[in-house]
Amino acid sequence: MLQLIRTCLLTLWAVGPVAVAACGGAQDPSRIATGAYHLVLPDGWQGGPAVIYLHGYGSSSAKVLGTTTLVEGFTGRGYAFIAPTALPWREGNPTDWAIRDGWVAYPRNDLQFLSDVLNDAVARVAVDPDRVLLTGFSRGGSMVWEAACLHPTLARGYAAVAGGFWLPETRDCIGPVDLLHIHGFSDQVVPLEGRTIDNPGLGRFTQADIWSGLQLWRRTNGCPSKPSGHDASGEIWRRWWSCDAGSVEVVLHPGGHGFPSQWANLVLDWFEGLER
């Protein structure tokens, strides 16, 4: 708790009105022209790497900061934690990210929004733009895949949890990236094979097959068909490809629609390995 208080005070001192809801207040987030985000800085922050975390459907950055163990998993290793908030996909409806899924009326270009959030954090608190990890859960994970596909220079690495492409199927991405995908083997909300969701009055929306999406990533990165390595020695099963440009790694855990234990360390170990 003392560490969290120190982090909160440091953040408020360093960036003025940027909110840290996890520090015991429903404070206002930082607002930019295209939206809002929350920010937590690690103790002793002098500038450095950052994690941008994208929440799931219907959530918000304030709710994310309420999960202190999630935030501290990253700030405890010296990363600024940036949590943008999605907009309602239509007035009066839950928040969602602007993902290519057949719905054409999203209120914002979220790729531009994420760029604006990063640029604001770089200018205000000296985030290193060359050491940014974009990660997210569920629909936030789908937005990670979207950003990696359509804006491959936004972040140094992309790590999605339980979310991938939606139909109509994505067939081409702009360029290679380093991508880590984490998924629960028994996930029934976003099954590995995809599923169709009927929304009465709005239409039918289909989660694409994760395996098909990973095949696209291997093709985009120029990966060989045979993995460069694998590890199935514990509950976490891993397979990775070293490619002509970028890399692809898949992590499966035995759970459902959620995170494996110590997932922040898993993601950051992978991310920091990219810089070696």
Q: What is the mean pLDDT of the chain?
A: 90
Looking up tokens 């295209």 gives 34
- Looking at the chain, list the stretches that DSSP marks H as alpha helix, in order from N- to C-terminal side: 2-15, 61-65, 68-75, 110-125, 139-150, 210-221, 263-274
DSSP-derived secondary structure letter, 166: B
Task: Dig out the tokens for 263 from the structure.
Answer: 């997932």
The alpha carbon dihedral of 121, 125, 131, 136 has a sign of negative
CATH number assigned to the domain with residue range 2-274, chosen from the 4 options 3.60.21.10, 1.10.287.110, 3.90.1580.10, 3.40.50.1820: 3.40.50.1820
User: Tokens standing for 110?
Assistant: 């979220």
Pick the closest to residue 42 from 85, 71, 15 (CA basis).
71
Per-residue pLDDT of 58-103, as tens digits, reads 999 999 999 999 999 999 999 999 999 999 999 999 999 999 999 9
Number of Cβ atoms within 10 Å of the Cβ of 115: 16
Q: Report the alpha-carbon distance of residue 268 to residue 70 in Å, rounded.
A: 13
Whether 69 contacts 75, CB under 8 Å: no
The residues, any chain, with a CB within 8 Å of residue 28's CB and separated by 6 or more, are 17, 19
Q: What angle do CA 216, 220, 128 make, to 5 degrees?
A: 115
Ranges of each domain in the chain: 2-274
177 or 3, greater pLDDT: 177
* pLDDT value, residue 104: 84
Q: Which two tokens stand for residue 252?
A: 């499966």
Total-model pTM: 0.90
The answer to whether 218 and 191 are in contact (CB under 8 A) is no
Predicted local distance difference test score (pLDDT) of residue 124: 96
